Structure 1
Amino acid sequence: MATQIVLVPGFWLGAWAWDGVAPLLADRGYAVTPVTLPGLEPDNPDRGGVTLDDQAGSIAAALDHSAERRVLVVHSGAALPGTMVLDRHPDLIDHVVFVDTAPVRDGYAMDPAMEAAEFPLSEAWESEMADGSMRDLSEEQLQTFRSRAVPQPGRTVSGAVHLSDPARLAVPGTVVCTAFPSTDYRSYAEQGAGFLAGLLDHTDLTYVDLPTGHWPMWSKPAELADVIDQAAGR
């Protein structure tokens, strides 16, 4: 079977977030599997009960054992369950692509103080707009984002990642740097930025600059597809 590419979006998003990228990869012969993580379904009746472990299990279940190669692509907050899958199944992932995100370290949590059952996009919208996260998005794309966004399960924001297998650190990876230059990613990690700290541990990472906002699957889908294609061939 052809190389499989599993596409996992970040906070508030479902598989639909990759609609501009997935066909471009499929046209190049890849078996493309966009994923909607547990808790990100619009009609989930138990969103507040969803955990990082649930989401990691969903990603692992999407990996096709019969594929020649498997490439895992994680965007933003999906790096947490994505790193858990990398830790549990390093032998199943031939390459991992971090889209404006990074592998995390054992014990990391996005916001351990969060007690709310859900974290809606509306609570982050103003800060996302102010910090340039929405750079290069059209008004139509912004409206689609707001209308289709699903509240993030609170326990995936407050929950900590648990890792144990150092084999994950040798899995080849590509870090797609969009929000700021690649030179800053490692610099911020060295300065103690918790979300980026895992970059210092992994031994086979390639950094690619793709200047845009935090949502390159919408702002630069063709360019992102090219980066994923190149990563898949490494």
Structure 2
Amino acid sequence: MTTQIVLVPGFWLGAWAWDEVAPRLRDEGFDVVALTLPGLSEGSPDATATVDDQADAIVEAFDTHAERRVLVVHSGAAVPGTVVLDRDPGLVDHVVYVDTAPVSDGHAMNTELDGDSLPLSAVYDSELEEGSMRDLTEEQLQTFRDRAVPQPGATVREPVNLRNDARLDVPGTVICTAFSASDYRAYAEQGVPFLRGITEFRSLELVDLPTGHWPMWSKPAELAAAIATAAGAPTKAVSQDPR
């Protein structure tokens, strides 16, 4: 059975963010595509890219001939990822939300963003202070700063228009890293906007992987294992990091 996994990183990142995860999944026989979303190419950023542009790119990355298709979205990539589900719920068999969740109709990351883009530098200090960077080495932090591409403003500011309730039936796994699964549920029930989709989607499993917001760097082996399990576990376990 051919299972395709499309890996989509969150804000500021390209396909390179999955460099320690994708090979582990390929070693287990998965067909893996790591995606750089429109607007986030190193050396040629495009501040005019929209959520719809990014959703288009996710759709185009899938092989419609694959027997099983799994979408993995990290952080802010849940926004175009949810748009994909709304457009065509049958395209994706399972979604893995890495420290994120499906979004609700009308959601926008920050409608008050001023400017054409959101650079990492604008939020880096607050992210660091709030524990988002937990378990990352100084070398990893420096790489992040060096390679981060400003997030196109429209992808931060524009609310999504979701109309197809069939998206709510697409099964998914939420890998909870910066907060626990129980915290995720509690925040969703309290109405935290970015997590509201947890209360709407009908088939979500929440699992714990304690670390920071960037588990593809802090715990790549454990994240690969969790993705493999959610995708439909292969015959052997994903090898663990020997370090």
- TM-score of the aligned structures, taking structure 2 as reference length: 0.94
Match of 2:4 in 1: 4
Match of 1:215 in 2: 214
- Cα distance per residue 1:61-96 (max 9 Å; x no partner): 101101010000000000000000011111010000
CA drift at 1:44: 2.7
Match of 1:42 in 2: 42
Match of 2:14 in 1: 14
1:116 and 2:115 aligned: yes
User: 1:44 and 1:139 mapped to 2: Cα distance?
Assistant: 26
User: 1:92 and 1:68 mapped to 2: Cα distance?
Assistant: 11
CA drift at 1:103: 0.3
User: 1:122 and 1:6 mapped to 2: Cα distance?
Assistant: 28
Three-state SS of the structure 1 residue aligned to 2:103 is coil
1:131 and 2:142 aligned: no
Identity, % of aligned positions = 65
Map 1:20-31 → 2, pairs under 5 A: 20-31=20-31
Three-state SS of the structure 2 residue aligned to 1:112 is coil
Match of 2:241 in 1: none
Match of 2:237 in 1: none
CA drift at 1:115: 2.8
Three-state SS of the structure 2 residue aligned to 1:38 is coil
User: 1:3 and 1:99 mapped to 2: Cα distance?
Assistant: 19
Three-state SS of the structure 2 residue aligned to 1:73 is strand
CA drift at 1:48: 2.1
- Cα distance per residue 1:2-55 (max 9 Å; x no partner): 20000000000000000000000000000000000000012336x221110100
CA drift at 1:113: 1.2
The two structures, once aligned, show a CA RMSD in angstroms of 1.0
1:148 and 2:147 aligned: yes
CA drift at 1:186: 1.3
Instruction: Provide the aligned length of Structure 1 versus Structure 2.
Output: 233
Three-state SS of the structure 2 residue aligned to 1:67 is coil
The answer to which of 113-122 and 173-182 deviates more is: 113-122
Match of 1:199 in 2: 198
User: 1:176 and 1:193 mapped to 2: Cα distance?
Assistant: 17
> 4+ residue runs of structure 1 moved beyond 3 angstroms?
none
Residue type of the alignment partner of 1:116: G
User: 1:3 and 1:194 mapped to 2: Cα distance?
Assistant: 32
